[in-house]
A and B are shown apart, each in its own frame.
Chain A
């Protein structure tokens, strides 16, 4: 069966450090992978997308990698700030049915 796994436990890091979140998928062949941010009590908001033929994508302090052999995407936030504290969700793309990982809750400690 299809499965999307993200770090199940919350991730606590010190302000200024780099946060690395993992998204592993099983029985998908996504054409791309999306990352979203969700704040408490709000709907998720799209952050960025990486295509299967892209190894790495950057947007300001965000960097995403995509390894189709490992079936994994890594999401990095460099120079993390308390305002980056949120839950981050990944979603394999290229399908009509869009499903998400359980999300990783990131807490950046001042």
Chain B
């Protein structure tokens, strides 16, 4: 079981370039999330999805777009990268909350993005 896999793990971009981060989960989870983590700022929610074909904005959505065309994949796009988007990005997934589970989030290992 791979769990949550993020691709790529490292990427360097120039200002204005575009790129897509891929998150794939093999646990059949309904919910998926994208966070960014900067020193001293903790995890900040960018966008999230409560099911295939749905997306919603989080705390810091500006400059990012997402898509959830397949249940197992959640893509995070940067259309025109800016230095302020230099960060570590984490994807997470979780099952729908029931009395029989903890609703815990399962995280990927992170994608380190540098924008020059």
Contact = CB atoms under 8 A, between A and B. Distances in A.
A97 interface: yes
Interface residues of A, number: 23
A47 B109 CA distance: 17
A99 B35 CA distance: 9
Interface centre among A45, A98, A103 (most CB of B within 10 A): A98
A32 B108 CA distance: 23
Nearest to A91: B105
A96 B50 CA distance: 7
Contacts of A43: 4, 90, 92, 107-110
Contact of B58 (A32, A34, A91, A97): A97
Given A96-B48, A103-B42, A46 B33 contact: no
Given A43-B92, A43-B110, A34 B42 contact: no
Interface residues of B, number: 27
Given A97-B56, A99-B59, A102-B40, A44 B45 contact: no
B102 interface: yes
A89 B42 CA distance: 8
B43 A44 contact: yes
B107 A98 contact: no
A9 B47 CA distance: 28
Interface of B: 4, 31, 33, 35, 40-43, 45, 48, 50, 56, 58-59, 90, 92, 94, 97, 102-110
